Chain A
Amino acid sequence: MGKERVLIIIPAYNEEANILNTYKSIMDYNKEYKTNYKVMVINDGSNDNTENFLQEFNVPHIKLVQNLGIGGAVQTGYKYALENNFDIAIQFDGDGQHNVEYIKDLIAPIINNNVDLTIGSRFLKEGSSKFKSTKIRRMGIKVIAFFIKIFTGRKITDPTSGFRAANKSVIKIFAEDYPNDSPEPISFVKIARMGYKTREVAVSMNERVGGSSSITSNIWKPMYYMVNVCIAIMVTSFIKKKRR
């Protein structure tokens, strides 16, 4: 480990409360462990002070000229990673849910075991994570995991996790095509169907510090999310299997 160029993609939509802390935690980690994780915050057309903070503290960032939604924002990061020839791209939330110390666990299988995509899971080891989300959400996650198991044959415990690491081949695929709504489970299915190696890594997540999650604002949104994900998983698995 060490010579790989690692980019941390942080999508941020109205994250003025957390984004600087998140950035600082990565910089502190870099200093302490002599790592050289590069950061690229994607400011997804925030209308709070996110942009001012990013500029003031010289945080590397791309300001989307209009709001695209989570999928479009994250994909911008993958495009940037592809253009700048990064070896590994990490998806990392700007709201303080993810811990920088698990990044090394996420990238280890990619470097050592030829894995193409790793997913940070809260549920892989019993009691490994302090924060496991609400009961209803866990149920939704189980349903999605079940669908993925049926359509890809792969076991995944935390399919909606936005804490992931991708190698060069996956970066290229995501840069070209990335779903807009509920992108994590859908893009996982695509990668799995294409025959790439995936692996889950046990991580611990924190409860959100500020802001609000993108999928809990009202009753209909999670319903729409579930239906959208399940249909998309089925449709995505109709695409032809390809092997490298």
Chain B
Amino acid sequence: MSIRLRVFLIVSTLIFIIGIINSIKKNDVNIKYSLIWLFSGILIIVVTLIPNLLEILSDFLGFELVSNMIFLLAILLLLVLSYSFTVILSRHAKRIRLLTQEISILKERVDKK
């Protein structure tokens, strides 16, 4: 990895992490859901600082090219993430449905009196 590429990666990842911390501060995002993004940011920085790490891991897992491993791992991570969003979304839909029903039943009872 060239120095230029490393500097570019580290700077953009830092901006990414600062952005996340900012939205946590503003209460835009749950800490619980932002952790995975923070971790991936930190991981990118670690990997950029110690490039041999990737090569060792890639050799160990039997990939021909380091980039193949990176793409595969990234796609897997995104798949897991988007599935977990589906789970969270379904849970929230259920909760919204419950709230709608309870509020509506309550309103009917209050209006009757």
Cα of A166 to Cα of B70 in the assembled complex, Å: 56
Report whether over half of chain A's contact residues are helix, strand or loop; otherwise say mixed: mixed
Give min CB distance, B103 to chain A, whole Å.
6
Number of interface residues of B (CB under 8 A): 9
- Residues of B contacting A75 in the complex (Cβ-Cβ under 8 angstroms): 101
Question: B100 contacts the other chain (Cβ, under 8 Å)?
Answer: yes
Task: Compute the total of residue contacts between A and B using a CB distance below 8 Å.
Answer: 33
Distance between Cα atoms of A164 and B107 in the complex (Å): 27
Interface range on chain A (Cβ under 8 Å from partner): 10 to 19
Given contacts A72-B97, A180-B97, contact A65 B103 (CB under 8 A): yes
Which of B101, B102, B108 has the most C-beta atoms of chain A within 10 angstroms of its own C-beta? B101
> Within 8 Å of chain B (Cβ to Cβ): is A217?
no
Chain B residue with minimal CB distance to A43? B104
Q: Name B94's closest neighbour in chain A (CB-CB).
A: A180
Which of A131-158 touch B at CB < 8 Å?
A: none
Q: Which of A61-87 contact B (CB under 8 A)?
A: 61-66, 68, 72, 75-76, 79-80, 83
Q: Are A65 and B105 in touch, CB under 8 angstroms?
A: no
For residue A80, give the distance in angstroms from its CB to the closest CB of chain B: 6
Q: How far is the CA of A180 from the CA of B98 in the complex (A)?
A: 12
Contacts of A63 in B (CB 8 A): 104, 107-108
Residues of chain B within 8 A of A72, CB atoms compared? 97, 100-101
Q: Which residues of A contact B104 (CB under 8 A)?
A: 62-65, 76
Interface set of B (CB-CB < 8 Å, partner A) = 97, 100-105, 107-108
